[in-house]
Structure 1
């Protein structure tokens, strides 16, 4: 039987040296960790605001026969971003619709996008440094706090990060394989634009243009050819979509172009720099260590020039063009992870041991608290903890999901085994951190998922409203409904609200209000009769009331 392996950058010989002893075990651990980390959290819960309300509304619109060229959220009058990510999510939802709900099926497309992210991060680490460093980069990326809290959401930012990571790898590869890098860069530019708009394109192109402007090493004919060919290839699919969009709806196209041209007026650079203190952990401290260790080479070696310029260009583009939302900081992780991966080998033994034990204690504490909370909900002891869990989640009890319990037990055993048996080395520090992060995330998404979903989901509220609706009515006016709540209302009930803020008249038979605890309740006139009121089980601020016009 012919045996072959695929090298990290698809070399011409398509072969790799025979694995060293223990190498296959490390690769298997990496693949298992990536699979667990990627898959858990994608299914089993309703769409959550604020990250998923727009995405699920657009996906629903596509599946209901809406436009494929410029799909809009319910009630939207302008396009936010191009459709590639939402088209892929809709296709995934359609494929899995016979067995799971639309939102779970749509969210499963993130498995592909996340796999691309982890693959490109690992290949970038290997290309910039050496064989084996790619695993460090992937482990660091898995263990990064900012990525895990948002990467499993139905959000186009995930696709944007995948494309940006691909472009970053292409820039790392260009010195050795310029034509192959050119093709990858073209894919990153076109897919990034078609999935998220102009921002990924600006980040990648500004980096590619600043490198030769600032550093002689990048000022070569080969790099110029790489960039020109990539732009030429990428412009074709982008131009096709733009022409289709203009032909579909010229006024909508003009509004979208105007919005993009006038969107870079913000000054949020300090916000994105500040949140990296927790968002980019543990990549940030490792990257800072790398900056100090390689301080004499930062401006002389191309790999450091790439990482520094990419970070600076990304921070500039995000600061001018993105709102202050944590998920928008995704691209900043790429250069930090790449630099941090190359710094692992230079950790002092005492520093590596301290970081390793910090991770073991931190994730051990987190895991223990998750297990304790779950046991309290199942058994009733300790009673105070159960009472607190009920207060925070709104659930009185949870039913044991045996599959989730088995998965949680297996992951707990794996984490304990790794902590006990792993040798205390620099490499094991990032491995243990990645295992710990996967352990904590997995327990949340197995044992506590019903509790979290109860606290965050609008499905029970809007489902109960559907049962309270009269048999005959013409439409429903709304007042003070947030955008996320309105989109989720449409998704769960298939009813399109008529906002009073837009219509300035109450022409419908029904009138629904969203109340805020801090603002008091607005009382409609005597012609309205209250027929329903509710709120999320663990909600402390907002509630809903439905009125019917007295006939």
Structure 2
């Protein structure tokens, strides 16, 4: 017996314009008006910027202003560089690169919606027929489930920051969602055409962030096909596997033909792929399940309930396929001994799709608990954001204003009327949404997650309107670059640097600083990055002798007293 009994009134879908508006409200804040931030955001932008203003060798051999970065893959950087070439003159290079990330998010969101829609239309997923009729139409049921999956996807806490970064992960997660959609299509209409589409997507994913994950997915699909005894699906996976290798082989062929910088990133890239499965360790396993609790909220409670509710059904694809993907990604996360948040990102689209089927059977008390949790947490976070902004602008409350001043001394940002008005409208809209949910008590399936999704959008919108100037000054290297550039003469050969990729990218973009490239160069200046906690005077790298250099500048960002940079000039 199926666990779902629903009337047609519970399957009222959101209008298409509302879905599109939600996606835009989610993704646009954070793409507009901000600098490249410290970390993957700046380093990935640096690679895209280097490619966009470089030669064919720069496109084939990813690097940040001369700093080799063979990890991951070049596809996301190629697309970002293309956007810089096309739109950099209109929007500026950083925003042009982030436009690509915005399109990546939209592809992922649409893929989550359509994959859930196709699974929700399948006969085994339909609710039980009611005694006197009135059960929902399969298309309406599928659309409502798809709306719920999209809201859960947007509400996922782990997606928020990474979907707004200029990084490889923004393309990776969208390709995973699209790969899952292609998997559903393959099981719906098995054949070589569907298999080739699946293989092409897997190949693009391999060129984005390594071949380990797409290979694992194809093997997982083979296991699902064998378990369901779908021979046509199993046969279609063989050409898919061959096609998946073509993008990587094409990249290697280009490297062999051009020989960029008389070297190749391919051996180091292959070694990086092997390190992805170098575990498991107790640390990687504990990290995966510990951080997954908040990273995949609010999806995981509904996903677990979906598996429990459908446990007695015979091989339902809408449960079996997402669970197989989840087990595959969890295994890969545990095998990666280098614990970091990005290894959990592939889980989010599939978790959201599986959680949507949990909405159909979850108890009303659970829905109310999730709603009240979202209202309290999101309203509290939004209140803290407003309170901090008031303290920053007025000096009250005094203690909070002093703490903010310690985090970023000499902050000189002024309030922006348009940003303040947008934040106020968003806050009013949030309270209107809460009132609608509590007073109307709608019966639609997606009611359980509408407040979670709306709360995430509200808090992010408040941060990206009220706090964007403060965040730019604290996280960006723009102002520090101005200090560094002033210490360099108009004419100099190059700067040899032992600094991080994001710092190198920021200094090269904001200050147009010429760093040493792949070939050995005798630079007149040397830039070192070091920590105040370890030593105020940095240790000289092994090829250099301290007596040959003199210090001409020491600086740090206003928001980071520990990170220091020292510029040396070669003694004559």
Same structural fold, with TM-score higher than 0.5 when normalized by the shorter chain: yes
Mapping of 1:231-380 within 5 angstroms? Answer: 231-249=241-259, 251-252=263-264, 254-256=266-268, 258-260=270-272, 262-263=274-275, 264-267=277-280, 268-297=284-313, 300-321=315-336, 323-380=338-395
CA distance in 2, matches of 1:321, 1:66: 35
1:492 to 496, 510, 514: 510
Confirm or deny: 8 A CA contact 2:64 2:504 kept in the other structure. no
Deviates more, 1:50-59 or 1:183-192: 183-192
In the other structure, the counterpart of 1:9 is: none
Please tell me whether residue 424 in structure 1 is matched to residue 441 in structure 2: yes
Q: Which residue of 1 aligns with 2:54?
A: 65
**Which deviates more from structure 2 when the two are superposed, residues 428-437 or residues 307-316?**
307-316
Q: Does 1:99 align with 2:90?
A: yes
**Relative to structure 1, is the Cα distance of residues 346 and 48 closer, same or farther in structure 2, using a 3 angstrom cutoff?**
same
Shift of 1:183: 4.8
TM-score normalised according to structure 1 size: 0.87
Q: Is the 8 A contact 1:157 1:328 kept in 2?
A: no
1:438 equivalent in structure 2 = 457
The answer to whether the 8 Å contact 2:374/2:451 transfers is yes
- In the alignment, is residue 531 of structure 1 matched against residue 552 of structure 2? yes
Q: What is the TM-score normalised by the length of structure 2? A: 0.84
Q: 1:170 Cα deviation (Å)?
A: 1.8
**1:4 corresponding residue in structure 2:** none
Q: 1:254 to 1:229 in 2, by over 3 A?
A: closer
- Aligned position for 1:10: none
Q: Tell me how far apart the structure 1 counterparts of residues 327 and 487 of structure 2 sit (CA, whole Å).
A: 54
Is the 1:203–1:310 Cα contact (8 Å) retained in structure 2?
A: no
Inter-CA distance 207–99: structure 2 relative to 1 (3 Å threshold): same
Look up the match of 1:82: 73
Could you say what the CA RMSD is over the residues aligned between the two structures, in angstroms?
2.8
TM-superposed CA distance for 1:455, in Å, is 1.3
For 1:540 and 1:459, the matched residues in 2 are separated by 16
**Which of residues 21, 24, 32 is equivalent to 1:35?**
24
Distance 1:400 1:357, change over 3 A: same
What residue ranges of structure 2 are gaps of 5+ in the alignment?
Answer: 1-7, 121-141, 541-545
For 2:458 and 2:447, the matched residues in 1 are separated by: 16
**Distance in 1, Cα, partners of 2:501 & 2:88:** 26
How far is 1:415 from its partner? 1.3
Question: Aligned ranges for residues 50-199 of structure 1 at < 5 Å?
Answer: 50-67=39-56, 68-77=59-68, 79-129=70-120, 130-179=142-191, 181-199=194-212
Is the Cα–Cα contact under 8 Å of residues 377 and 398 in structure 1 kept in the other structure?
no
Distance 1:546 1:409, change over 3 A: same
Alpha-carbon shift at residue 103 of structure 1 (Å):
1.5
Q: Residues of 1 paired with 2:205 and 2:526: CA distance?
A: 41
1:529 shift after superposition = 4.5
Match of 2:527 in 1: 512
Question: Which SS does the other structure have where 1:532 is aligned?
Answer: strand
Greater mean deviation of Cα atoms: 119-128 or 519-528: 519-528
Q: Could you tell me how far apart the structure 1 residues matched to 2:85 and 2:269 are?
A: 31
Q: CA 1:77/1:512 → structure 2, altered by over 3 Å: closer, same or farther?
A: closer
Per-residue deviation, 1:376: 2.4
- Contact 1:530–1:547 (Cα < 8 Å) also in 2: yes
CA 1:498 to 1:70, structure 2 compared with 1: closer, same or farther past 3 Å? closer
SS of the residue aligned with 2:50?
A: helix
Between the aligned partners of 2:266 and 2:451, the Cα distance in structure 1 is 51
Please state how far the C-alpha of 1:452 moved relative to its aligned partner. Answer: 1.5
Structure-2 separation of matches of 1:248 and 1:343 = 52
Q: Relative to structure 1, is the Cα distance of residues 92 and 473 closer, same or farther in structure 2, using a 3 angstrom cutoff?
A: closer
What is the CA–CA distance in structure 1 between the aligned matches of 2:537 and 2:495, rounded to whole Å?
17
SS at match of 2:449: helix
The alpha-carbon deviation at position 546 of structure 1 amounts to 2.3
SS in 2 for 1:514: strand
Listed one character per residue, the Cα deviations across residues 109-157 of structure 1 (whole Å, up to 9, x for unaligned) are 1111100111111112222233310010000000000000211111111
In the alignment, structure 1 segments of 5+ residues that lack a partner are: 1-18
Q: CA deviation at 1:435?
A: 0.7
Quick check: 2:199–2:243 contact (8 Å CA) kept in 1? yes
Q: Secondary structure at 1:97's aligned position in 2?
A: helix
Deviates more, 1:510-519 or 1:460-469: 510-519
CA contact (8 A) 1:473 1:509 kept: yes
Q: Offset at 1:261?
A: 6.0
Q: Deviations over 1:351-374 (max 9, x none)?
A: 211110111111111111111222
Higher mean C-alpha displacement, 280-289 vs 23-32? 23-32
